[in-house]
Amino acid sequence: MARNYVEGDQHVAGRITCENITLPDDTVGEDQIPSDANIAAERFEQQYAATVADTDGTTSSSKSTVITQAQGTSGEFVALRVSCDGAPVGAATHTVDVHIEGTGSVLTGVVTLDSGSAADTVYDGTFDGTALAQDDIVKIVEVATAGGGTLPTGVAVTLHWREEAD
């Protein structure tokens, strides 16, 4: 098959049709897609974030908070960010984990706020590569242990994840 090669910019006043086309990477971006393009939602990946905040910090406790029931056919965890506005003192700890119901933790280790943690500092969790599947129930699991010290106050936990649209 013969190939034609044209160097330089080209302008075509009408439509171009072909049987196959291979576009270079980064050729089509958001600016090239018209706002009224009829593209089905299933073609897109959606990113979400949810925050669980706890201002108490006065008593030892354990809690599990449902964040989402995944709707997309597949997904991935993107980030877990934990902070507090009042750092723990002494032997007090506050751990944060992310669980999928029936599977358990999806982190390589819990995020722990302890006497070495600073107020208004963000601590990131590390995911173990577990994928998110449709109908997975995702929970934030927190355990606060006073241990004779003072628990952190104003703990904020934010989970970011992506899902393929149905």
pLDDT, tens digit, for every residue of 121-144?
A: 999 999 999 999 999 999 999 999
Compute the distance between CA of residue 141 and CA of residue 83 in angstroms, rounded to an integer.
Answer: 15
Assigned CATH for 45-164: 2.60.120
Residue 96, classified by CB atoms within 10 Å of its CB into exposed (0-12), middle (13-18) or buried (19+), is buried
pLDDT tens across 48-100, in order? 999 999 867 678 889 999 999 999 889 999 999 999 999 999 999 999 999 99
Q: Token pair 């006073």 is at which residue?
A: 146
DSSP β-ladder status, 111-113 and 93-100: antiparallel
pLDDT at 40: 77
